[in-house]
Structure 1
Amino acid sequence: MRDKELYKALVEKDSAYEGVFFVGVKSTGIFCRPTCPARKPKYENCEFFTSAKEALLASFRPCKRCRPLSHPNQVSEVVQKLVEAVEENPEKRWCDADFRALSVDASTARRQFKKRFGMTFVEYARARRMGLAMKEIRSGGAVLDAQLAAGYESGSGFRDAFSRIMGAAPSRADKRVVWKASWIDTELGPMVAISDEEALYLLEFVDRRGLEREVERLRMKNKAAIVPGETGPIDSIRRELQLYFKGELSAFETPVKMIGTDFQKSVWCELMKIPAGTTVSYADLAAVLGRPSAYRAVARANGTNQLAIVIPCHRVINSNGELCGYAGGLARKEWLINHEKKMPKKSLLQKA
């Protein structure tokens, strides 16, 4: 559903949308249910989510008025108590003694959270911590600072936790498709890679806003569980990225899987033909595709690219020569363009 439709439902407090979406308010940092009685935010301050978990991972905290983590007609005192305790100290890592201090049975907490929200209390607390960590990274903070703020003393523990939020655990995967996710450090900041044993599905900077929702859409669309791990394609792209950032690679050979419409795929394929160190405009791409008036559609397709650097959407600029939007940030876009100007002008063609 489009954001404007959801915003209309929010303004009208339409109860038919209860459980369908949650709204994060950027100006306050809270997220609410559609029927929240609070004053409605401006449209530009809204971010919409299909689950409470998505909102938590995007660093929003639950509203105290509409209590989005409680069933609208049945509020659990145990759930209320635990949510309030988490908000008092969101960086806290919970243990059995903490439950006893609140006179709460850990198994009861696990069962009630699982029934209400599809995740255990420990998963909720972890998601809240990781949301804060993602906010720290997005605001320009060091990954190490975000890691420590989230309560992880080791980098590997932080990365594993980041991966675990992306999908079901292996024991719950049953017969579903299982993809692997891994963290890749680069000169421009950490990236996350997702693949199966055959091809790479996603490669994106960790601090890209909306990454969590993008991963969730990818997971749901393909009915895949995403778990921590390594695969041949992930090992391959990690090695190739190291060479790329050293200026020693101008052609990625890691196999990829493009997931999109035929038009989007046609745009992405043209992007991969742009020689390193050169740039084109959206109008140029539209003309090459034989649809010169479709430059806005080309721009949208460019923005939905899920394979950063490999599909070089950073090589597209405005017709006037100015840099334009890039999900990884304009500073990264400028760096990548300048970096590639030092490379031999070869096409970054991708093996399908």
Structure 2
Amino acid sequence: MLMTRPSDDTLYQALLSRDAAYEGFAYVCVTTTRIFCRLTCPARKPLRDNCRFEASIAACLDGGYRPCKRCTPMLRLGEGEPTIRALLDDLERAPERRWSEADLLALGYDPSTIRRIFKRRFGMSFLEIARRRRLSHAVTTLGTGASVIDAQLEAGFESGSGFRAAVSQWLGAAPQQVKSQSLLKAAWIETPIGPMLAVTCDHALHLLEFADRPALQAELTRLRDRNGRAIIMGRTAVTDRVSEQLAAYFEGRLTTFSLRIGDHGTPFERQVWRALQEIPSGTTASYRDIAEAMARPTAVRAVARANGANQIAIVIPCHRVIGTDGSLTGYGGGLWRKQWLLRHEQRAGTNTTS
């Protein structure tokens, strides 16, 4: 019997191998998707830096994570208890519903019995679980301009400090900040060379990176801090345009993107990024070429740093930059992707239209 909690590295290896020996002993919380899973979940495995491990479902919910729909950790733990299964099914169908003991009585349940069963299985009562699931609804309420107290009551939090702590941990911003700023929304976009995370607002694209980029979590933190805006999972009209144009690009039908990009970076970085967008599809340029085109021939190293600071892959085509000797240089998405993208653009050639 395991008497002490294994290290996070051990748990991550158990996640990668779907080791059933750790089933129910710990759960993985994925910080990028805000979802928690069983260690045997068949879904694509997250990066190590994007994983938190918790010993209980209660701790996962307290952190603002939602149960995975593929491995259904809560339903799995409720197997053998028809009452638990029935109530969790109701909760999945309407996670925004505000439950009370009267609702349980109306369904023919004894509230004290339900409380005891759920406490034993999950470490928290059914009503507590339901309240945490309403947290996402409270964020939507804040986004409409409602007061923090209204959103707090909507979420069912009696404690103002508890509500603020829950929202801050989930979104990385205090409720008052969420209310005063429009939210950035992150969504996954599938591509032939791996999923990408797109972060948009209602007007512009702010980040587009491959899911396994090592610096992704740091980029999200930097984006949030620079904008003073919380990031939640969701889509905007801009997300749909990004998805459509990426699909056309990968199908060889588009070489030039027409997307509004958020105003990030220093004036020099933005100048470099504009220069990157002027490199024709199917061709390449060196850092020196870019520096000379900008009439800054001595700024080769600064150009390289600005190229590395680009957080909008493909649309701002930093993959088209190679070494002066023609060699492939570093690429945050991996050199194999850089080579794939260059070959894809060369194959598309004159058959593509912008």
Identify whether the pair has TM-score above 0.5, normalized to the shorter chain.
Answer: yes
Match of 1:173, SS state, is helix
Of 173, 179, 185, 2:184 maps to: 179
* 2:239 pairs with one of 234, 239, 249: 234
Deviations 1:143-164 (A, max 9, x none): xxxxxxxxxxxxxxxxxxxxxx
- Specify whether residues 223 and 61 from structure 1 end up closer, same or farther in structure 2 by C-alpha distance, changes over 3 A only: closer
Q: What amino acid is aligned across from residue 322 of structure 1 in structure 2?
A: S
* Whole-angstrom CA distance in 2 between matches of 1:248 and 1:310: 14
Judging changes above 3 Å, is the alpha-carbon distance between structure 1 residues 27 and 273 closer, same or farther for their aligned structure 2 residues?
farther
- Secondary structure at the aligned position of 2:198 is classed as strand
Look up the equivalent residue of 2:341 and give its one-letter code: L
> How many Å separate the matches in 1 of 2:11 and 2:326?
37
Shift of the alpha carbon at 1:27? Answer: 12
SS in 1 for 2:232: strand
Q: Does 1:100 align with 2:91?
A: no
Instruction: Please say if residues 207 and 328 of structure 1, whose CA atoms lie closer than 8 Å, have aligned partners that are also in contact.
Output: yes
Give the count of matched residue pairs: 239
Paired with 2:301 and 2:9, the residues of 1 have a C-alpha distance of 27
Find the aligned partners of 2:188 and 2:52 in 1 and give their Cα distance. 26
- CA positional deviation for 1:255: 1.5
Distance 1:185 1:176, change over 3 A: same
- Aligned counterpart for 1:264 among listed residues 265, 269, 274: 269
Calculate the TM-score normalised by the size of structure 2: 0.55
For structure 1, the residue ranges without an aligned partner over 5 or more in a row are 1-24, 30-55, 63-68, 70-77, 84-90, 124-164
Q: Which protein shows a greater Rg?
A: 2
Corresponding residue for 1:58?
49
Q: Quick one: distance in 2 between partners of 1:206 and 1:317?
A: 23
Q: CA separation in 2, counterparts of 1:346 and 1:301? A: 31
CA distance in structure 2 between the partners assigned to 1:305 and 1:240 by the alignment? 19
- 1:343 shift after superposition: 3.0
Structure 2 residues not aligned, in runs of 5+: 1-7, 13-46, 61-70, 78-114, 133-156
> What letter is aligned with 1:191?
M
How far 1:173 moved relative to its partner? 2.6
Residue 227 of structure 1: CA displacement?
A: 2.2
Tell me the equivalent position of 1:188.
193
Bigger Cα displacement from structure 2, 167-176 vs 234-243: 167-176
Give yes or no for the alignment of 1:220 onto 2:240.
Answer: no
Over aligned residue pairs, what C-alpha RMSD do you find?
4.6
Q: Call closer, same or farther: CA 1:345–1:287 in 2, change over 3 Å.
A: farther
- Structure with the higher fraction of residues in helix conformation: 2
Shift of 1:290: 2.2
Distance, in Å, in 2 between the alignment partners of 1:283 and 1:27 is 45
Q: Whole-Å Cα distance in 2 between the matches of residues 255 and 198 of structure 1? A: 7
Q: CA deviation at 1:288?
A: 1.7
Q: Quick one: which of 204, 210, 213 aligns to 1:199?
A: 204
Q: CA deviation at 1:169?
A: 10
TM-score (normalised: structure 1): 0.56
Structure 2 Cα separation of the partners of residues 215 and 316 of structure 1: 24
Q: Does 1:273 align with 2:278?
A: yes
Does the C-alpha gap of structure 1 residues 190 and 61 become closer, same or farther in structure 2, counting only changes over 3 Å? closer
* Equivalent residue letter for 1:203: L
Deviations 1:78-113 (A, max 9, x none): 99x969xxxxxxx994678675358x55669x999x
How far did residue 336 of structure 1 move?
Answer: 0.4
Q: Secondary structure at the match of 1:297?
A: helix
Partner of 2:341: 336
Find out whether 1:326 has 2:331 as its counterpart. yes
Matched with 2:317 is: 312
Alignment of 1:36-55 (within 5 A): none
Structure-1 residue corresponding to 2:90: none
Separation of aligned partners in 2, 1:57 and 1:98: 31
Deviation at 1:221, TM superposition (A): 1.3
SS in structure 2 of the partner of residue 177 of structure 1: coil
Distance 1:220 1:290, change over 3 A: same
How far the C-alpha of 1:250 sits from its partner, in A, is: 1.3
What is the distance in 2 between the residues matched to 1:304 and 1:342?
28
Q: Following the alignment from structure 2 to structure 1, what is the Cα–Cα distance between the partners of residues 48 and 180?
A: 27
In the other structure, the counterpart of 2:40 is none
Question: 1:100 is aligned with what amino acid?
Answer: R
Q: Cα deviations across residues 176-196 of structure 1 (Å, max 9, x unaligned)?
A: 221222111111111111111
What's the % identity of the aligned pairs?
Answer: 40
